A and B are shown apart, each in its own frame.
Chain A
Amino acid sequence: MPVVELSAVTKAYQDKVAVNQLSFRIEPGQMFGLLGPNGSGKTSSIRMMIGITAPDSGSITLFDQPFSRSSLTRVGYLPEERGLYKKMKVLDQLIFMGSLRGLSADEAQKRAIAWAKKLDIAHAILKKTDELSKGMQQKIQFISALIHEPELIIMDEPFSGLDPVNATLLQDTLLEQKAQGKTILFSTHRMDQVEKLCDSIALIHQGNLVLSGRVREIKSRYKRDRVIVEFQGDDSFLRSPEIAQAKNYSGHVEIQLKDDGDAQKLLAEAASKATIFRFELMEPSLEEIFIQTVGGKVDA
C-alpha cells in the first residue's frame, strides 16, 4: 500500500509544462528522495501532492486513497520557502499550527515545549519570531511540520541555509522519524545528501521523470569506471591506454577509465611503476548518473 502515488501527473503554467506525465510511488517507512536541479518541477509536484495546486491531468493518491484534504492532518510539510508569522511568539505559533492540524491547544503546547528542548531552542520559545536567527527560525519551522506526529513528512530542501551542526541535528531527527516508521519525502537539488539518507529516489529534469527506483539498484546499473589512486613515485602509468582522463593532485589522482578500460590492468601497471597507497574503484555518484542521463543539460 503506497503512502503516495502519482500516476501520469501533468501540470502546466501558461505555456510552460512544469510537470509532465510524472509517475512514482513512495512505500511506507521509506525515505524517498525527489531529486532534480532548480526549476525541474520538484516543488510543483509536492504542491500537487498536498493539494495546494491541482494537476491538469493524471491522478494522485495519499495513503492509498484519492487525494482528499482530510488526509492532510496526517502530513507534515516543510516548504522550501520558509514561512512564519514574524510578530508572533514562537510558542503561540507552534500551538496555532498544532491546533490547525487537529491537536488540542494543551497537547500542542506540551509537544512544542518538548520539541524545543530536543532541538535546543527552549530559551527562545517566548520570543517573537523576528527576534531569532535564521537557523533558529528553521528549527521552529521544522517543529511546526512535525508537531502533530504526521505519518508522511515532506521536506523541501530542509537543510538549505543551515550550518553543519544544525544540519546534522535535523538530519539525525529525520533519521529518528524514519526509525519510528514514518515515511519521508525529501526534495533537494543536493544529490550528495540524498545518497546518504534515501532508500529510493525519483530523479526529474524539466518536469520529466529521468530515473526512479532504489538507490542501490540504480547505482548498480551503472558501471564502476572511476578510480581514485594515491601513490608515490613514477607517474608514467597515468598515460596508460586504459585511461580516458586523469586529474593529478600531487599524488592523489582521479581517473576516468575508457569505456572498455580495464581497472585490473591499470592497477598492475601502476603497481609496477609506483608505490600505491590507495587504489579504489568508485561507483558513480547520483550526480554523475544524473549528468550522464540528461547529457549534461542541467540548468542549475
Chain B
Amino acid sequence: MRNILLIAQREYKEQVRGRTFLITTILLPAVFIGVFYLSFLSSKHSGTDKHIAVACSDPALASAIRTEILSDADAHSTVDLFAPEMPGMLMDSDRARLVSEVNNKSIDGFFWVDVPATGPIQATYEAQTAGDFVTSERLQSALNHALLRGRLVEHGISASAADALLQTVKVDTRQIKNGKEVTSNAISSFYSAYIMALLLTMTTMIYGLNVGRSVIQEKTSRIFEVMLATVKAGDMLTGKLIGIGAVGLTQIFIWIAAGAIFASSALGAQYLTGNLKIHISLLQIVLFAVYFLLGYTLNSALFAGLGATLETEQELQQYSPLAALPVWLSFSMILLISTNPNSIWVVAASLFPPCTPIVMFLRMGSQMPPLWQIGASIVLMLLAIAAVLWFSTRLYRIGILMYGKRATLPEMMRWLRYS
C-alpha cells in the first residue's frame, strides 16, 4: 500500500506541477464558456435581420403578412411588399424579377403566396440560404395568423376582437419534484446539465488518455524494468490511476470553487439570470464527482492496457476515437433525452456503462432520474470497470516489457492467456 501511495504521489505532483495542468485548468473552462456563449448568441440571432419581399396576389393578405412579420420585433426584419406586373395576379415574370433581386443580393429572399380563385393557397419561401428553417417557420406562422385574422373579420368579428383572439400566450415551465411544484427554467436547466455533461466528457477523456500517454512514456523511457524490480505491476497501475485521477478531481474542484465564487459575486448575479441562471443541485455536484471517477477509471483502465501494447503516443492518438464513440452516441440522442428522459432507449443508454456519465447528466437537465437507476448505473459501471481492469492489467503486465513494435491482436490474446 505504501508503494501504491508513493507512486500515486509522484504521478500527482509531476502532473500538477506540469504546464499542461495549468493550461487545461484555465483554458478548458474558458473554451467551454466561449463555445456556450457563442451558441447562445447564435441561437438568439438565428433568422434575424432578414430583408424579405412578400409577393401575394391578394394585396390585403400581403399587407397583413407584412404586419405579422414585423410584429416580431426581435427578428429585426425588413419586409417589402412586392407589386406584381398585373395587380391581383402573380406571373412567371414576377417570379423571375424576384429571383434576380435575390441573385443581386438586394433582398435575402421572397415569400411567394399565390391565392387562386379556387383551391388551396400555395406559399413558398425562396432565399439564398437553403437551411434557414427559423425564417421559414416565422413566415409560416405570419401567413397562418394573417389568414386566420382575415377569415375572422370576414365572418363579422371586429378587427380588435380578432386581435384579442389571436393573442399568443407564453408558456412557463414548472417541474413537479417529489409531488411539489417548483419553478424551473427549462432552457437554463438544460444548459446547466449540458455543460456538466460536456465537462465530464472532456475530463474523463483527457485523463483517460493521459494514463495511456503516461504508460507509453514510461515504456519508452524504459523505467518499467527498474520499477518492476521493486513494485508489482498491479501496484504500479493502481498508483498511476489513483494519482492521475486525483489530478482530475483537483481540477474539477478548482472549477467548482471558481464557478461558485463567480456565481456569488456581483458580476455573477448580473450575468447569471434568466436563461443563463445556473441550476445545479448539491446532488448533481456529488454525482459529478462520482461519475467522473467512474468514467475516468473505465477510460484510463482501457487506455492503460492499450498503452502497454503500443510504442508511440501517435499510435495512441489513433485509438482516441474509442473514447469518443460513447460521446458521439450519447450526444446523438440529445433531443430524445431532453424531451423524453424516461423513454426505454434513454434509460438503456444511461445504463450502458460507456455512455452512463454523459446520458445521466443530460437526463438531469430535464428530470432527475430515479435513484434506483442512478444506483444501477453505478453498479453496472463498477462491473464494467472490473472487467476492463481484468483485461488491462494482464495486457499491462506483459506489454510494458515488450519493446520494439506494436503488439498484434494474436500477441495480445497470447498475453491474456499467459497472465
- Identify the A interface with B (CB < 8 A): 14, 50-53, 69, 72-73, 75, 77, 79, 81-88, 96-97, 99-101, 141, 144-145
Contact = CB atoms under 8 A, between A and B. Distances in A.
B174 to A, nearest CB: 55
B229 A77 contact: yes
Contacts of A101: 230
Interface stretch (B155-163, B199-207, B216-224): B216-224
17 contacts: A51-B228, A52-B228, A52-B229, A69-B232, A72-B229, A79-B226, A79-B229, A81-B225, A83-B221, A83-B223, A85-B10, A85-B14, A88-B14, A96-B10, A100-B6, A101-B230, A145-B226
B39 interface: no
Contact of B414 (A14, A72, A81, A99): A14
Interface string B163-200: 00000000000000000000000000000000000000
A145 B229 CA distance: 10
A53 B229 CA distance: 10
B229 A84 contact: no
Nearest to A69: B232
A175 to B, nearest CB: 23
Given A52-B228, A77-B229, A100-B3, 20 more contacts: A51-B228, A52-B401, A69-B232, A72-B229, A72-B230, A79-B225, A81-B222, A83-B218, A83-B222, A84-B223, A85-B223, A86-B221, A87-B14, A96-B6, A96-B10, A97-B226, A97-B230, A100-B7, A100-B227, A141-B226
Contacts of A96: 6, 10
A236 B103 CA distance: 109
A79 B217 CA distance: 18
B280 interface: no
A290 to B, nearest CB: 26
B403 interface: yes
B387 interface: no
A81 B403 contact: yes
Contacts of A51: 228-229
Interface of B: 3, 6-7, 10, 14, 18, 217-218, 221-232, 401, 403, 414
Contacts of B228: 51-52
A53 B224 CA distance: 13
B229 A75 contact: yes
Nearest to B10: A96
A51 B230 CA distance: 9
Contact of B224 (A83, A87, A99): A83
A254 B352 CA distance: 78
A77 B14 CA distance: 24
Q: Report, nearest first, the 6 A-B pairs whose CB atoms are least far apart.
A: A83-B222, A83-B223, A79-B225, A77-B229, A81-B222, A52-B228
A82 B414 CA distance: 27
B221 A85 contact: yes
A83 B225 contact: yes
A82 B223 CA distance: 7
